[in-house]
Amino acid sequence: MSTILLAVVMFCGGMAVAVQPSINARLAERLGGVLESATISFAVGAMALLLIAFLAGKGSFKAALSAPLWELTGGFLGALFVTLFIIAVPRIGTAAAMGAAIGGQLTTGILLDYYGLFGVTPIPLDLKRLIGTLLLIAGAALILRH
C-alpha cells in the first residue's frame, strides 16, 4: 500500500474514531452508565473482528497463550480509551476530547519512535516532528478553551 493511500485510509480511520465517542456517549445515556456503554461498544467490535478473523485471518489465536502479558494489554488500553471518551465528550465536547487525546497520542508516539519501544523502528526526533507535535498540542489547547 502506498504512503499516500495509507495516509488517506488513516485519515478515514481518524474520522471514524472522531464519531465513535459521540455515539458511545449517546448509548451511555440510553443505558444509564458509562461502563455499560463501553462494554457494549467493545462486545460489538469484538464480534465483528471475530467474524472477520475467521473469514480472512491468517494467524493463530492459540499463539496468544504463549504471548507475554504486556502484549495482551492492548485491549485494556483500548477499553480505557473508549471509556474516557464516553466520560469526556458530554463534558468538554468531541473536538476538545479528540484534541487532548491526539496531543497525548503524538507525544507518546514521538517517544515510542525515538526510543524504538515495543519493536518499532527507531526514528530520530527532528525539528519538523517536534514543531508539528507542538503545533497540534497548541491547537488542542485552543480548542479546549471554548
Rounded to two decimals, what is the model's pTM?
A: 0.84
SS (H, E, C) the chain: CCHHHHHHHHHHHHHHHHHHHHHHHHHHHHHCCHHHHHHHHHHHHHHHHHHHHHHHCCCCHHHHHHCCHHHHCHHHHHHHHHHHHHHHHHHHCHHHHHHHHHHHHHHHHHHHHHHCHHHCCCCCCCHHHHHHHHHHHHHHHHHHCC
pLDDT in tens, 60-91: 999 999 999 999 999 999 999 999 999 999 99
pLDDT in tens, 19-61: 999 999 999 999 999 999 999 999 999 999 999 999 999 999 9
